[in-house]
């Protein structure tokens, strides 16, 4: 079958672009040749078609044969590069603009027969010690265009590559037979699994922070805890908005989504709910840890103030006596007595010792 597909594609050199209003003309091979194209292949009956790595040929094969589709992977393409590719596959202009600009919230949008999905990717950043400016989670984006005979993935960010996913799907031809929606499911499943892996690593950081709250020798600073909370909030903002799009993919019948694949989206949605709940729990736990740390700081400050106040009170005794006897009056009690000086010293020492023991009993010293 693969041999027939390839032979049929090469034997019918016809125009590759469907007639659409306000669409640029079909680009030439030189115009679409770019280093931003990570991979381009055609799949039919769950198998990769040979010689489908050229975008023009891939689009031609996918459109000429029922059940075949092209999968084009892009990495941070420019506006002109993505517009050239949009001319081949008929991608909607508004979605193309979003895919170039990036920094989009997770969402799903339908443009006629094309489905546009935005996903946030996440990666845990290794760090030896949490500091006030430590980066814990790095986010990126993956945009997916799917139609009846194509999948175009646009990736932003140094992580979140799909080469491994492509290999895994090629090892599951029974899944690839369901067309572009199988690729979309694979991308969503990969992204959500990465969420769970990041949550596992963040939990270790939060547990370490929680254990150190009551350890005076290694108590975390408020700045470090706030930085960790800020990273968790950023991660939460990347994960939580994906709930509605995935629920739509798992519950709403869409012509671009194979019914068999829609059942698989329910499993991905369950994993996303689990990740969201764990992130929310970590956020609340970190808020409690932060509050406990602030309480510990306040208690420590109060203890320091009590100690300072106690020593000031003890020091006030000799200060007061010295101030009284330093007024240089002519007639003062015991001023000219031989035992006057030692008596004053003994009185000062006795008073200071009494105050010291009283403060010790009350826990001020």
Residue 265 is part of a domain; what is its CATH number? 3.30.460.20
132-149 in b/e form (b: 16+ CB < 10 A) is eeeebbbbbbbbbbbbeb
Last residue of a domain, one of 280, 296, 312: 296
Same domain, 287 and 338: no
pTM above 0.85, yes or no: no
Residue 31 Cα to chain centre, angstroms: 36
Same domain, 233 and 363: no
pLDDT digits (tens, 9 = 90+) for 16-64: 333 333 434 444 444 444 447 888 999 998 898 887 677 888 888 888 8
180-191 in b/e form (b: 16+ CB < 10 A) is bbbbbbbbbbbb
Same domain, 209 and 341: no
For range 182-206, the mean pLDDT:
93
Is 141 inside any structural domain?
yes
Is 303 inside any structural domain?
no
Same domain, 352 and 217: no
Same domain, 189 and 336: no
Is 94 inside any structural domain?
yes
pLDDT digits (tens, 9 = 90+) for 93-116: 989 988 888 788 899 999 988 999
Same domain, 352 and 248: no
Same domain, 188 and 72: yes
Same domain, 290 and 334: no
Same domain, 358 and 282: no
Same domain, 39 and 177: yes
Residue 54 CB-half CA count within 13 A: 14
pLDDT digits (tens, 9 = 90+) for 262-316: 889 999 999 999 999 999 999 999 999 888 888 877 887 888 898 898 899 889 9
Last residue of a domain, one of 276, 296, 316: 296
Same domain, 253 and 343: no
Q: Which domain holds residue 340?
A: 328-365
Domain count, the chain: 2
């Amino acid at each position: 079958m693969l041999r027939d597909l390839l032979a049929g594609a090469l034997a019918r050199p016809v125009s590759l672009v469907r007639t659409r209003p306000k669409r640029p003309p079909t680009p030439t091979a030189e115009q679409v040749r770019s280093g931003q194209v990570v991979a381009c292949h055609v799949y039919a009956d769950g198998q990769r078609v040979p010689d489908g790595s050229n975008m023009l040929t891939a689009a031609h094969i996918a459109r000429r044969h029922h059940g075949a589709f092209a999968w084009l992977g892009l990495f941070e393409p420019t506006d002109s590069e993505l517009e050239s590719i949009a001319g081949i596959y008929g991608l909607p202009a508004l979605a193309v603009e979003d895919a170039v600009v990036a920094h989009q919230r997770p969402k799903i949008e339908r443009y006629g027969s094309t489905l546009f999905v935005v996903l946030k990717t996440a990666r845990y950043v290794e760090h030896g010690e949490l500091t006030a400016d430590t980066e814990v989670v790095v986010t990126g984006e993956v945009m997916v265009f799917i139609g009846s005979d194509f999948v175009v993935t646009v990736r932003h960010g140094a992580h979140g590559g799909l080469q491994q996913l492509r290999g895994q799907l090629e090892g599951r031809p029974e899944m690839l037979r369901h067309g572009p929606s199988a690729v979309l499911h694979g991308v969503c499943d990969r992204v959500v699994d990465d969420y769970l892996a990041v949550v596992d690593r963040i939990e270790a950081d939060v547990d370490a922070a929680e254990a150190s709250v009551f350890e005076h020798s290694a108590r975390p600073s408020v700045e470090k805890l706030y930085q960790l909370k800020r990273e968790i909030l950023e991660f939460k903002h990347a994960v939580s908005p994906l709930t509605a799009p995935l629920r739509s993919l798992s519950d709403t019948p869409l012509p671009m989504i194979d019914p068999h694949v829609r059942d698989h989206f329910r499993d991905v949605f369950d994993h996303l709910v689990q990740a969201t709940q764990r992130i929310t729990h970590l956020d609340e736990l970190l808020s409690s840890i932060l509050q406990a740390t602030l309480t510990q700081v306040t208690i420590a400050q109060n203890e320091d103030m009590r100690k300072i106040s106690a020593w000031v009170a003890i020091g006030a005794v000799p200060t007061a006596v010295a101030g009284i006897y330093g007024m240089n009056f002519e007639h003062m009690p015991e001023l000219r007595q031989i035992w006057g000086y030692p008596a004053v010293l003994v009185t000062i020492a006795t008073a200071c010792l009494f105050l010291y023991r009283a403060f010790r009993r009350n826990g001020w010293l």
